[in-house]
Amino acid sequence: MSQQFKDQIALVTGGTTGIGFATAKALIAAGAQVIVTGRNPQSLAHAKAELGPKAEVIASDASDEVELKRLFVRIKDQFGRIDILFLNAGIAKFGGIPEASLAEFDDMWRTNIRGPWLAIREALPLLGEGASIVVNTSVVDIKGMAGTSAYSATKAALRSLVRTAAAELAPRKIRINAVSPGPIDTPIFGKTGMPAEGVAGFKESMITQIPLGRLGNADEVAAATLFLASKGASFITGSELAVDGGLAQI
């Protein structure tokens, strides 16, 4: 891989597993110094061991205002700036409206939309001209999938945030875009609250609806994220790039 991000500083929230981890690896391979955050001690330890010296692995809750402030102070003191900000941290809990948990809705709102909004605000002093923000949304921000009302609402709000932030940041020559994954085979399926047989059935159901006939993988989303962060996307802002096998496109 070319060193297109050589000497750049990248922050990946939720970077210890799945899409975030794959993106962190790709950024390091492309020359970046990467900071990754997460909450799970086992995942943090695994990421630290696997990513090597070009990664700073930090325990930080992406939904917690105090921890976010502390994170960006640390980055300022240690690195001085951020060139690429990938707001990837998110949680998903599924259930129909009648049985959905209000507590889970609130948790998703704090992590999936309040957290990114706070992160953008805290990152602004560290983002210079030419910096790029990429936000991980989801195919559900435009698809009406039964059982995803709370999760979909947070992702639709996140898509809206990308548009308004793009308008505000354009005068500073800072771009912000979204990458929108369809069903991607990552550990997040095991964190949805569905039993194992439910997860298997969900995957099989999704595959029948995806024109390309398979689930995506984290590396494919990482590649799209790196494109949006690169100079190759220098005239793209406020957009959403779907990586969904055609699920929401055809």
DSSP string computed for 81-93: -EEEEEE------
Percent of the chain with pLDDT over 90: 90
Name the least confident of 75-79, 100-104, 221-225, 233-237.
100-104
Name the β-bridge partners of 248: none
Q: How confident is the model at residue 188 (pLDDT cuts 50, 70, 90)?
A: low
Name the least confident of 28-37, 47-56, 181-190, 209-218.
181-190
Percent of the chain with pLDDT over 70: 95
Q: What pLDDT does 196 receive? A: 64
pLDDT at 22 over 70: yes
Q: What pLDDT does 198 receive? A: 62
Q: What pLDDT does 157 receive? A: 98
pLDDT at 234 over 60: yes
Burial 125-162 (b: 16+ CB within 10 A, else e): ebbeeebbbbbbbbbbbbeeeebbbbbbbbbbbbbebb
Q: What is the mean pLDDT of residues 112-119?
A: 98
Q: What is the mean pLDDT of residues 180-186?
A: 93
Q: What pLDDT does 2 receive? A: 82
Q: How confident is the model at residue 112 (pLDDT cuts 50, 70, 90)?
A: very high
Task: For the chain, list the strands marked E by DSSP.
Answer: 9-13, 33-38, 55-59, 82-87, 127-136, 175-181, 240-243
Q: What is the mean pLDDT of residues 55-62?
A: 98
The fold adopted by the segment(s) 9-243 is: Rossmann fold (3.40.50)
| Residues acting as catalytic residues | 151
Q: What pLDDT does 195 receive? A: 64
Domain edges within the chain: 9-243
Q: What is the tens place of the pLDDT at every residue in 189-202?
A: 555 555 666 677 77
Mean pLDDT, the chain, as a whole number? 94
